[in-house]
Chain A
Amino acid sequence: MIDLVLSVIQAIMMIALAPLFAGILNKAKARMQHRAGSSIFQPYRDVAKLMRKSENISESSSWLFRFIPYVCFGSMLLLSLMTPFFSAYVAAPYGDLISMVYIFTLYRFMMVLGGLEGGSVFGGMGGSREMMMSVLIEPSLLLSLMALAGLTGGSTMIGDIPRELIGMGAIVLTPALVLAASSFFITLLAENSRVPFDNPATHLELTMVHEGMLIEYSGRGLGLMDLSSMMRLMIFSSMFCTMFFPWGIALTASPSAVLIGLASILIKVLLVTLAIALIESYLAKYRLFRLPNLLTASFALSLLAMISLYIL
């Protein structure tokens, strides 16, 4: 019962905080570029405004187009129920790490189909590039999570992983964990369409990947898609912070542990956000055909993580 309550609270917190961290990211980037930037609460206002507006849908799109935002948002909600945030309690005997990876695939698959709806060139182009990246991302995401599961004794239960890692003490700082974590971080950037993979701020037609797929959405559909992509960043950051570096997470349900867990996760996610902002400010977007180099590096790192697990 405590699992259920805590995981629902965590999911609600993640939904509520996702736009805030997106706002912080934008603000930090603006400050690094010596701009004042918009308020950190701007994403809330954007989403709220989009939700209030009426939709304008392409004549050429089918029933699926209207359905996709719900599926995307629904899959992100499901994942936020499965991801540990401030406590290791997740109501997750219904899903494990592998199903998390495949739910991300569901999200991406649906988004690409949404891009192809309406027959817009930008949608097709965005979808095509997204798919190229995902072919190279998916295996490394799978392998880095597998390395994590292997490190903690082969269980793919989400709730067990932070617990096991903390229980292992300092020995856990093996090459496997570091390699898997670095691979996962590259995956995080690629999955969330961040620089150097994609520029989330661009609306320049020929460089769009993620934005290209959303080009036909408007009003509430766009609001839901935007909110889901913020949630995706939040889920990835909290996966990074609770599964690869779980220290501080609440292992019991006592108020003090929960408070420490809450403080630590907020600080960790803030650090990840600032790191992303730093990368985005100091790195230009890569040319599309240079991306496979970085993605194969991520793949190699995760494969090495997995192999080092067995050799060392």
Chain B
Amino acid sequence: MYDGLYLSLMLIPAAVGMAVGIIPSGYSRRIAVFLCGVSAFFGVLAYPLYIYGGEITFTFPLFSAWGPYSILMDELSSMIISISSVVFLTVIAHMVRSPSAPADGRYSALVCALFISCILTMCADTVILLLMAWEAVTLSTFLMASGRDHTAAWKFLVIAHIGGLMVISGFLVMMHYAGGHVLSSWSDLGVTMGPLVSCGVVALLFMGFGTKLGLVPFHAWMPDLYASAPTHTSALVSTVSSNVAVLILFKGIFGYIGASDGMYILAIIMMAASSFTAVWSALESLVQTEPKRILAYSSMENMALVLLCFSLGILFSNGGSPGLITVVLIAGLFHTINHSVFKSLMILTVGSVEDCTGETAMEKMGGLAKIMPVFSVMALVAVLSMAAIPPFNGFASEWLMIQSMMGGEGIHVTEILLPLGVAVLGISGMMAAVSYARLYGFMFLGRPRSEKNVSAKVDTATFVPMSVLAILCLGMGIFYSQITERLAVGVAAATSIPSDGPFLDNLSGTLNMPLLAGILLTIVFAVYALNRIFRKKSARSPTWDCGTPLDENMQYSSVGFSQPLVRVFHPLYGDVIEALDGDSSDKRKKYSIRFAEPFVEHLYVPLGNLLMRGAKQVGRTQNGNIQTYFGYILAVLVVLLVAVRFI
């Protein structure tokens, strides 16, 4: 009864904000942002309201040739809507006080549009609404990303549309077999579609949503977009739209089609693709010299782990217990929401640091922990969560992943692959941890690497949204078992997999996170307190310099830091394309290098050249002479007549 009221409270302010933002006026930006914040606030209430009042349904009083536009918020979507809205709210709150956010009201209008389209995609109940909203997500991201570098945004648009094409075709095939367009009535389509078609559709969805999640080789847009788009665009793209993509992919594979044993070869291919993506992006993140590029590869790595979980979910349905499938799916979904929290925190921190220092290269930062202690604490929380350090949330979900891989023992064929899965998780996780240590160490620690002082003043109001996210990072880690229990209910409701409580309960019995965190913190603070009580004098002196006064460049550089690993894995890296000058007045000083992304160089560039050559060949036929065109028409007519005659 109140469903319509709630939805209008959530969607109308943002829609009004969209309209207001377009008006060229000094106030329009503030009003639009405020309205979007109101919407996001109501978005946060989605899950509490679901618990209180059950499913929220609504049909818009609009009709189309492909059915009505209707909405259904079930357990899982309302949960992810709530988390995404929290992220949205914090990013918006940060945007208000951030000096680098575009001052244009139209940017705020686009933020509103992104919010509406993300929410609608997550809770769409008809195919037409889902596909349109998904397209709107892509378009608004594209418009929001057109910052310093337009080519990055265009790359995104092209690749996202290739993905969009796959998603649309996948959904149309499913609609054909389901015979209806109401998504909530779709279940076990795999039975009617047969193994071959369902494999095809799953592959289409996997690749289609994979383009948004950075699946290799569709990841080429990601680092460029993150590096060139405004901070808040990157923050929203990497968190909220990833959440959307993962949720719909999950529902598509496990809710609508339903995993069956016929799919295990596809699952193995998917597993290989996502493992490769995870390791590849972790490797690439080690050589990046801009913090935002590191974060782009880190998003890829995290999302690849989620995709790995989903492919294991399909693999486990070939003989695994329902409990096991549920756990691996929960691990994937849990990692997705954790990722959205810690990654948005990290991107906001990096953005703030870039605003304050005016630098985007890591080689120019350093020693910022002394200048911006609060940011350094926030960044440490984010980095520890990203590196899966207990007791933060990244650890909780990776722990669940490893546990579910351990549980796959005894399943025919599958079990041989699981050690490899654990190895992938170990290698990519540790490489990612190295690159986060590098990211944090070279941004915040050490001595300042450029003479420039911090120009802009830190706005203390931005600490509020960031500390909300930091607390969530810790809280979601400590109370992981409560969250996974809720997710288990959601997964059971969204799929036809029977829920199996004992498996999860047994797992929760092996890791008592509140106690672990409590003991760790108690020990650390006890040692600290003892040290304070029996304190000794401490003196400050310069860093040990072997007798030579150290200048700002006489310390380890971030490029040097990752060199041992680059040497070990060197065949996998591309060529050095650019040696960035430290100082344009002195050409001898080169502090930084950039590696070519091998996929761009060996896949996209040749592909582009091939297309250009083909286009030139086609171009020859268009010589602008009217006689030639008459000739073409004649030829077509003859061919058609002959064809009609013989058919």
Cβ-based interface call for B543 (8 A): yes
List of B residues within 8 angstroms of A62 by Cβ: 367, 369-370, 373, 376, 444-445
Q: Which residue of B lies closest to A147 (CB)?
A: B419
Taking a contact as CB atoms under 8 Å apart, the answer to whether B536 and A142 are in contact is no
**For residue A205, which residue of chain B has the nearest CB?**
B546
Closest to B427 in A: A139
Q: Is A9 part of the binding interface, using a Cβ–Cβ cutoff of 8 Å?
A: no
**Residue B600 is within 8 A (CB to CB) of chain A in the complex:** no
The B contact surface, by secondary structure, is: helix
Quick one: which of B406, B509, B513, B556 contacts A125, CB cutoff 8 A? Answer: B556
Q: Give Cα A181 to B525, complex, Å.
A: 35
Q: Which residues in window 142-194 of A have CB below 8 A to B?
A: 142-143, 146, 149-150, 154-157
User: B447's closest neighbor in chain A, by CB?
Assistant: A119
Cα distance, A140 to B407, chains bound together (Å): 19
Q: Mark B581-623, 1 if CB is under 8 A from A, else 0.
A: 0000000000000000000000000000000000000000000
Flag if A57 contacts B538 (CB, 8 Å): yes
Interchain CA distance A137-B536 in the complex, whole Å = 37
CA distance A113 to B422 in the complex (A): 26
- Residues A28-46 near B (CB distance < 8 A): none
A18, CB-defined interface residue at 8 Å = no
Which residue of A54, A93, A116, A132 is within 8 Å of B564 (Cβ)?
A132
- Given known pairs A112-B437, A143-B419, the reply for A75 and B536 (CB within 8 Å) is no
Chain A residues with Cβ below 8 Å from B427 are 135, 138-139
A-side contacts of B539, CB under 8 Å: 54-57
Min CB gap B405→A, angstroms: 8
A202 CB within 8 Å of chain B: no
Pick the residue among A60, A123, A135, A142 that contacts B565 (CB under 8 A). Answer: A135
Q: Are A117 and B437 in contact (CB-based, < 8 A)?
A: no
A143→B422 contact, CB < 8 A: yes
Given contact pairs A146-B406, A306-B422, A216 touches B445 in the complex (Cβ within 8 A): no
Whether A96 touches B510, Cβ cut-off 8 Å, given contacts A74-B520, A146-B419, is: yes
Answer yes or no: B537 CB below 8 A from chain A CBs.
yes
Give which listed residue, B369, B441, B531, B564, contacts A129 with CB less than 8 A.
B564
Complex: chain A residue closest to B406, CB-CB: A154
State whether A139 touches B430 (Cβ < 8 A): yes
Q: Is B519 an interface residue (CB 8 A)?
A: yes
Write out the residue numbers on chain A whose beta carbons fall within 8 Å of the beta carbon of B519: 78, 81, 94
Which residues from B are CB-within-8-Å of A93? 509-510, 512, 515
CB contacts (< 8 Å) of B565 on chain A: these are 131-132, 135
Partner of B538, one of A56, A71, A149: A56
Contact residues in A for B429 (Cβ distance below 8 Å) = 138
Q: Which residue of B lies closest to A120 (CB)?
A: B543
Residue of A at shortest CB range from B522?
A74
Residues of A within 8 A of B422 (CB): 139, 142-143, 146, 306
Say yes or no: A219 contacts B538, CB within 8 Å: yes
> Considering the chains assembled together, what is the distance between the CA atoms of A215 and B546 in angstroms?
12
Is B538 touching A116 in the complex (CB atoms < 8 A)? no
Q: Give min CB distance, A109 to chain B, whole Å.
A: 6
Closest chain-B Cβ to A10's Cβ sits at a distance in Å of 15
Q: What interface size band does chain B fall in? A: 35 or more
Write the chain B residue with the least CB distance to A131. B434
CB of A310 within 8 Å of the partner chain: yes
Q: Which residues on the B side are within 8 Å of A140 (C-beta)?
A: 426
Considering the chains assembled together, what is the distance between the CA atoms of A95 and B388 in angstroms?
A: 15
Which residues on A sit within 8 Å (CB–CB) of B538?
Answer: 54-57, 219
Q: Which residue of A lies closest to B550 (CB)?
A: A119
Which chain A residues numbered 49 to 98 have a C-beta less than 8 Å away from chain B? 52-64, 67, 70-71, 73-75, 77-78, 81, 93-96, 98
Chain B residue nearest to A138 (CB atoms) is B430
Contact across chains for A310 and B442 when beta carbons are under 8 A apart: no
Q: Please, which residue of chain B has its CB at the minimum distance from the CB of A129?
A: B564
Contacts of B540 in A (CB 8 A): 56-59
Q: Does B463 have its Cβ within 8 Å of any Cβ on chain A? A: no
Q: Determine whether the beta carbon of A64 is less than 8 Å from that of B376.
A: yes
B431 within 8 A of A: yes
Answer whether A105 and B387 are a contact pair too, CB < 8 Å, given A56-B538, A310-B409.
yes
Q: Which residues of B149-205 are within 8 A (CB) of A? A: none
Q: Are B426 and A143 in contact (CB under 8 A)?
A: yes
Task: Determine whether the beta carbon of B560 is less than 8 Å from that of A128.
Answer: yes
CB-defined contacts of A210 to chain B, threshold 8 Å: none
Cα distance A273–B406 in the bound complex, in angstroms: 32
Task: Write out the residue numbers on chain B whose beta carbons fall within 8 Å of the beta carbon of A119.
Answer: 366-367, 445-447, 543, 550, 555-556
B272 near A: Cβ within 8 Å? no
At the interface, yes or no: A121 with Cβ under 8 Å from chain B? yes
B residues 437-461 in Cβ contact with A at 8 Å: 437-438, 440-442, 444-447
> In the complex, what residues of B have CB within 8 A of residue A116's CB?
437, 441-442, 445-446, 556
B567 contacts which of A60, A64, A289 (Cβ < 8 Å)?
A: A289
Query: Provided the pairs A75-B520, A78-B519 are in contact, do residues A113 and B441 lie with their beta carbons within 8 angstroms?
Result: yes
CB distance from A242 to the nearest CB of B (A): 18
How far does the alpha carbon of A61 sit from the alpha carbon of B538 in the complex, in Å? Answer: 13
B531 near A131 (CB under 8 angstroms)?
Answer: no
Given contacts A60-B447, A95-B511, A134-B430, are A74 and B406 in contact (CB under 8 A)? no
Residues of A near B524 (CB, < 8 A) are 70-71, 74
Residues of B within 8 A of A307 (CB): 416, 419
Q: Which residues of A contact B441 (CB under 8 A)?
A: 112-113, 116, 127
* A299 smallest CB distance to B (angstroms): 7
Q: In the assembled complex, how far is the CB of residue B432 from the closest CB belonging to chain A, in whole angstroms?
A: 10
Per-residue interface assignment for chain B, residues 509 to 537, with 1 indicating a CB less than 8 Å from any chain A CB and 0 otherwise: 11111011001100111011001000011
Contact at A98–B445, with CB atoms within 8 Å?
no
Are B510 and A155 touching (Cβ within 8 A)?
yes
B399 touches A (CB below 8 Å): yes
B319 beta carbon closer than 8 Å to chain A: no
User: Which residues of A have CB within 8 Å of B542?
Assistant: 58-60
Residues of chain B within 8 A (CB-CB) of A146 are: 402, 406, 419, 422
B9 within 8 A of A: no
Q: Is B395 an interface residue (CB 8 A)?
A: yes
Q: What does the 1/0 interface line of B401-436 toward A look like (CB < 8 Å)?
A: 011001101000001100110110111011101100
Indicate whether A106 reaches chain B with its CB closer than 8 angstroms. yes
For the complex, give the distance between the alpha carbons of A98 and B510 in Å. Answer: 10
| Beta-carbon contacts under 8 Å, B286-304 to A | none
CB pair A56–B541 under 8 Å, yes or no, is: yes
Closest to A56 in B: B539
For the complex, give the distance between the alpha carbons of A74 and B529 in Å. 12
Say whether A252 faces chain B, with CB atoms less than 8 Å apart.
Answer: no
Q: Is the CB of B402 within 8 A of A109?
A: no
Q: Which of B376, B426, B427 has the most CB of A within 10 A?
A: B426
CB-CB under 8 A from A154, the residues of chain B are 406-407, 409
Type the 1/0 row for B342-380, where 1 means its CB is closer than 8 Å to any CB of A: 000000000000000000000000110110010010001
Please tell me if A251 contacts chain B, counting CB pairs below 8 Å. Answer: no
B389 touches A (CB below 8 Å): yes
Q: Are B554 and A128 touching (Cβ within 8 A)?
A: no
Closest Cβ of chain A: how far from B440's Cβ, in Å? 7
- CB contacts (< 8 Å) of B550 on chain A: these are 119
Residue B562, interface by CB 8 Å:
yes
A232 within 8 Å of B (CB atoms): no
Interface pair A215/B402, CB less than 8 Å apart: no
Q: Does A196 contact B (CB under 8 A)?
A: no
Supply 12 A–B pairs (Cβ within 8 Å), ascending by A.
A59-B540, A60-B542, A105-B430, A109-B433, A116-B446, A118-B446, A127-B556, A134-B430, A136-B568, A154-B406, A215-B544, A288-B564
The 7 closest A-B pairs by CB, nearest first: A124-B556, A139-B426, A62-B369, A119-B447, A116-B441, A306-B419, A74-B524
Q: Which residues of B are at the interface with A, using a C-beta cutoff of 8 A?
A: 366-367, 369-370, 373, 376, 380, 384, 387-390, 395, 398-399, 402-403, 406-407, 409, 415-416, 419-420, 422-423, 425-427, 429-431, 433-434, 437-438, 440-442, 444-447, 509-513, 515-516, 519-520, 523-525, 527-528, 531, 536-544, 550, 554-556, 560-565, 567-568
Given contacts A74-B523, A118-B445, A129-B564, 4 further A-B contacts (CB under 8 A): A56-B541, A109-B433, A131-B437, A134-B434
